[in-house]
Chain A
Amino acid sequence: MSGLRLVNLHKSFGQTLAVRGVSFEVNQREIVALLGPSGCGKSTILAIIAGLEAPDQGEVLWEAQSLASTPPHQRNFGLMFQDFALFPHMNVADNIAFGLRMNRRETAEIDQRVQATLDLVGLPGFEKRDVNTLSGGEQQRVALARSLAPSPRLLMLDEPLGSLDRNLRERLVVELGQILRRTKQTAIYVTHDQEEAFALADRIVVMNRGQVEQVDTPQAIYRRPATIFVARFLGLGNLVPGEIRNSEGSRFVSTPIGNYPVESTLEGKVTVLIRPEAVTLDGEGNCQLEGRMVSCSFRGSTCRAVLDVQGFELSFDLHTNAEIPTTGEIICLGFDSREALQIFGTTLDGDK
C-alpha cells in the first residue's frame, strides 16, 4: 500500500544546496532507513516531510495526495529528535499526553493511552517522574512513547540513538525495531550508522551531498553497492583503478595488482572493489593476489588483515582456523573473481 512519496525535492539554504532532486517512497508499515554521513541532507528531508521547512521545488505526497497546503500540525506525522526535545516543564505523563491533548481526546482515553505506551516502551509506572531526572536511555524511551502515543500515520526518527553510548545503542536498536514492528508503524529512520540501518530497516535510502545514491534492501545494498560512495560508506574500502580489456574473445580487467577475468559490459577506465570477506588464505597455488602483511587485528573467528599490495593498502577478513601469517610476511590470497570483485564505471578521483 502506497504511503509517502517524495517527488524530486530540492532545498537550498542561501548558497548551500542541502537537497538536490530527492525522490523515494515509503510504503505503509514499512521501515525505511535514511543513511548517510552528517550534512548529507537527511535532517532537511525530515523537516520537509514534517512541513517544518518548505521545499524550493518538488512535492511530498501521502496516499497520492499532495501535502503542500497541509500545515505541519495537521499532517499527523510524528518526529522524534536526536536529543529527544522532551518538554522540561512537564512530567513524563504530560509529555506523552501532549499530542493526545492537542487532538482533543477524552481524559480517560488519554490516561489509558499514556499507560499503554509506557508499557510498550518498557517504562511502566514512570508517569509522575520528572523528565529531567531520567537517564539517557529512559529519555529515549519517553521520547519514543511521546511520538507513538498519538498514533502518527508516519513516524520519523532523527538519529534517535545518536546521543547514547555504544552499549545502550546496540541494545536499544533491537528493542526499537521490535516496538516499531509490533505497532505496525510506518517509519523513516535517519542515521549515519550502517549497522543501525541494517538492523532496523526493510529498505535503505543511501544519501550523499543532498542526493540519493541507492535505494534497496540491506542485503542488496551490502552485496551490490551501486556507487563507489556507497561502497566506501559501508566500509568496503578495497578500491583500485583498472581498465577493461579484451583478449582472445574473453574480457578481463587490468589493475596494478593483477589481471582478472570479468563479465562486465563496461568499457575503458573503471574502479575495482575487492570484497574483504570473499578471499581465502591460499595454500594450493591458486595465487590471485600477493602482498606483504602490514598488520592483523584479531576479531575472534576472523582477523582483519591489512596488506600492502603494490603500494595499495587493502583489508581482508581472514579465517582464524588457519595459521595467521606474521607481520612482514609475503602472503598469497585466492578468490573467485566473479564473487569477490565488483566493477564501477567511474574512476576513483571522481569519487562517484
Chain B
Amino acid sequence: MKNSSFNRRLLLLWIPPLTFLALFYFFPLGSILGISFARSESGLTGPFMEALASPTLRNVLWFTLWQAALSTLLTLLVGLPGAYLLARYEFRGKSLLLALTSIPFVMPTLVVAAAFNALLGPRGWVNLALMDWFNLSQPPVQFINTFTAILVAHIFYNLTIVLRMVGDFWSHIDPRMGQAAITLGASPVKSLRYITLPLLTPAITAAAVLIFIFDFTSFGVILVLGGPRFATLEVEIYYQTISLFNLPLASALAVIQLTCTLALTVFYTRISERLARPLNLRPRQFTQHRLISWRSRLLAGAVIVPMVILQTIPLVALAARSFTRLDPERGQASPVSPGLTLAYYRELSINRRESLFYVPPTQAIATSLGYAGATVVLALALGLPVAWALSRGNGAALNRIFDPILMLPLGTSAVTLGLGFIVALNRPPLNLRSSLLLIPLAHTLVALPFVVRSLTPAIRSIRPRLRHAAATLNATPGQVIRYIDLPLVARAVLVAATFAFTISLGEFGATALIARPEYPTIPIMIYRFISQPGAMNYGQALALSTILMVITAGGMLAIERFRIAEIGEF
C-alpha cells in the first residue's frame, strides 16, 4: 500500500517535466520528422536506405563515431593526471584552478572557435609572432581547418568533466586501498591497474559517456574550426537542411544520431548500475595531502601548468586580440597603424550601413540576459520536482524509465529541433512562433539535464533524520523547511541556476533557426559579424565574444565561490 502511494506521489512529481518534454520536445521533433518523411518520395525507409547506402554519408557516420571516440580518449588521458592531483592533494589556489578550467565548458562554440583563431589562426598571435621573429611571409602554423584543431577544441571543452566527475569521486576513495595493494607486493603501476582504476571505473565511464555524447553531436567546433573537409552527423544535418533542403535525408540522419545517443544513454544507465559498488567513501580530509615534498610540487606543476595553458591561453588571446589593431591585410589600404584600440567595441554601437537589422550591442546583451533569466526560472521550476523525485525514489522503476528521457535533448540535433519548433509551434493549439518564450523553452530543454544533475545530490543529502531531529527539537514544519531544507539546497539551486544561465547565454544551434531577426542574442550577433568579411567585422566579433566570455566566466566563478561546484552526478 505504502509503496503504491509512494509511486503515485513520484508520478505526480514527474508530470510537469514530462508534460513539458511532450509539448516542447516530442511534439516538435515528431512533427518535423513526420513532415520530413511525408515528403520523402521513397517512403519511410527510403531516406534511411539512402543515408546508409551513400558512401559519403557512411563516411560521415564513421567519422562522427571515431572522432568522438578519439576525442573522448584523449580528453581522459589529458584529464586523469589532473583529476588525480585534485583528488589527492590540497593546495592553495585549487578552487581558482577548478574555476578556470571550467570556464571553457560553458563557452559558446563560436567564442571558442574565435579564441583558437585568435591564438593559432593564420593571423593569430602565434603565427604573427613567428612570422615577425623569423621574417616569414607565410604563417608557419597550420591549425585552423585541421583534424588536430577539432581534437584540441574537444579536449579544451570537456576537460573539466574529467577533472570534476573523476576527480571528485577519486577524492573520496580510501587511499588505503592502494596502500593495502602495495604492502601486498603490488608495484605502484600494478596498484593503479588492478585497484585504483577498477574502483574509478564508474566515474570514468560516466565522464566518458557524457564527453562522447558531446563530441558525437559536435557542431560549431567542426563547422568553424574543422572547415569544409570535416563533417559530423550534426554538421551534415545542417547542410542537408539549410543548403540542400533535403529534409527527409536530414531527418533520417537526425533519427540515426538520436538512436545512437539513446542507445549510449541506456547502455550507460545499465552499466552504471552494474558498476555501482558499495564503496566506503571517505571524507576528503582523510584522503588529501598537502603539497610538501619538492617531488610532489614538481609533479603538480607539471600537471597544472599545461592544463592552465590549454584552458586559458586561447581565451586570453581572444580578449587581447579584441583590443588590438593589426597591420592591414595585404591589398587592403588602411590609414591606421597597429596598436591598442577600443575601436571594435565602439564600432558595435554604430550602425554604419544603416541596416534595418542593426541592433546595438546593449540590446543584444539585454535580449540574451532576458532569455537566460527566463530559462533559469523555467529550468528550476521543472528541475526541482524531478530532482526531488530522483533523490527520494532511489532505484524506483519510474525513475529508471524517465531519467534517460531527460537526457535525450542533449543528443538531439539542435538544427532538427529548431526546425521542429518552427513547424510545430506556429499554429494552434500552440502558436508560439512570435512569442518571446520560444527561445527560453528551447534553452530549457538543453539546460534541464544539468539542472537536475546539480540538484539531485543536494536534495539526496537531506536525510529524513535531519528533519526528524529538527522536529523533536520543537521546530514547526515551516521552521524545518526554513532552517534545514532551504540552507542545504540553496547553494545547489544557485549552481543549477548558473548552469541554466550560462547554457542559455551560449546556445547557438537552435537559436539560430528560431530567433527573431530583430531580437538576436549575443551568439547570433557574433555569427553575423563572423560571416561578413573585413577586419572591422572580425574585430567586432572578437569584441562581442569577449563580452560574452566575461559574462559567462563571471557566472562560472560565482558557482565556484559557492563551493558546491560539482557538475553533479551524470
Contacts and interface: CB of A to CB of B under 8 A. Distances in A.
Interface string B244-285: 000000000000000000000000000000000111100000
Interface stretch (B183-191, B207-215, B230-238, B353-361): B183-191
Interface in B162-186: 174, 176-177, 179-186
Nearest to B185: A102
Contacts of A13: 292
Contact of B184 (A14, A71, A89, A147): A147
A8 interface: no
B277 A89 contact: yes
A89 B198 contact: yes
Interface in B196-214: 198-199
Nearest to A152: B183
B290 A102 contact: no
A132 B290 CA distance: 32
Given A52-B179, A85-B176, A87-B195, A132 B277 contact: yes
Given A73-B188, A89-B199, A132-B278, A14 B183 contact: no
Interface string A135-156: 0000000000011001010000
Given A14-B292, A85-B176, A85-B179, A99 B185 contact: yes
Interface in A72-103: 72-79, 81, 83, 85, 87-89, 98-99, 102-103
B279 A88 contact: yes
A273 B198 CA distance: 56
B280 A77 contact: no
A98 B191 CA distance: 10
Given A14-B292, A87-B195, A79 B186 contact: no
Interface of chain B: mostly helix, strand, loop or mixed: helix
A50 interface: yes
A35 B177 CA distance: 24
A81 B176 contact: yes
A130 to B, nearest CB: 10
B278 A99 contact: no
A255 B281 CA distance: 54
A85 B278 contact: no
A262 B292 CA distance: 53
A75 B194 CA distance: 20
Interface residues of A, number: 29
B184 A99 contact: yes
A87 B186 contact: no
A75 B182 CA distance: 10
A132 B199 CA distance: 14
A138 B18 CA distance: 47
A150 B184 contact: yes
Contacts of B179: 47, 50, 52, 72, 79, 81, 85
Contacts of A79: 179-180, 183
B279 to A, nearest CB: 6
Given A81-B180, A85-B177, A89-B199, A98 B186 contact: yes
B184 to A, nearest CB: 3
Contacts of A88: 199, 277-280
Interface residues of B, number: 25
A72 B198 contact: no
B297 to A, nearest CB: 14
Contact of A150 (B174, B185, B191, B277): B185
A296 to B, nearest CB: 37
Nearest to A47: B179
A94 to B, nearest CB: 10
Interface in A196-236: none
B181 A98 contact: yes
A344 B185 CA distance: 46
A102 B174 contact: no
Contact of B182 (A73, A87, A89, A147): A73
Given A50-B179, A85-B176, A98 B198 contact: no
Interface in A100-144: 102-103, 132
Interface in A276-326: none
Contacts of B199: 87-89
Contacts of B194: 98
Nearest to B199: A89
A2 to B, nearest CB: 22
A102 B277 contact: no
A87 B292 CA distance: 29
Contacts of A50: 179, 182-183
Contacts of B292: 13-14
Contacts of B181: 87, 98, 102
Contacts of A47: 179
A256 to B, nearest CB: 45
Nearest to B184: A99
Contact of A72 (B182, B195, B278): B182
A14 B291 CA distance: 10
A47 B519 CA distance: 65
A47 to B, nearest CB: 8
A14 B292 CA distance: 8
Contact of A73 (B185, B278, B279): B185
A52 B182 contact: yes
Query: Most chain-B CB neighbours within 10 Å: which of A71, A78, A87, A147?
Result: A87
Given A14-B290, A14-B292, A85 B174 contact: yes
B186 A73 contact: yes
Contacts of A73: 182-188, 190-191
A71 B219 CA distance: 50
Query: Most chain-A CB neighbours within 10 Å: which of B184, B188, B190, B199?
Result: B184
B195 A83 contact: no
Given A85-B177, A88-B199, A72 B279 contact: no
A106 B263 CA distance: 42
Contacts of A98: 181, 184, 186, 194
Interface in B328-381: none
Nearest to A99: B184
B290 A78 contact: no
15 contacts: A13-B292, A14-B292, A52-B179, A72-B183, A73-B183, A73-B186, A73-B187, A79-B180, A81-B176, A85-B174, A87-B180, A87-B181, A88-B199, A88-B277, A89-B198
Interface of A: 13-14, 47, 50, 52, 71-79, 81, 83, 85, 87-89, 98-99, 102-103, 132, 146-147, 150, 152
Interface of B: 174, 176-177, 179-188, 190-191, 194-195, 198-199, 277-280, 290, 292
Given A78-B183, A88-B279, 16 more contacts: A14-B292, A72-B179, A72-B182, A76-B185, A79-B179, A79-B183, A81-B180, A87-B199, A88-B199, A88-B278, A98-B186, A98-B194, A99-B185, A102-B181, A102-B185, A152-B183
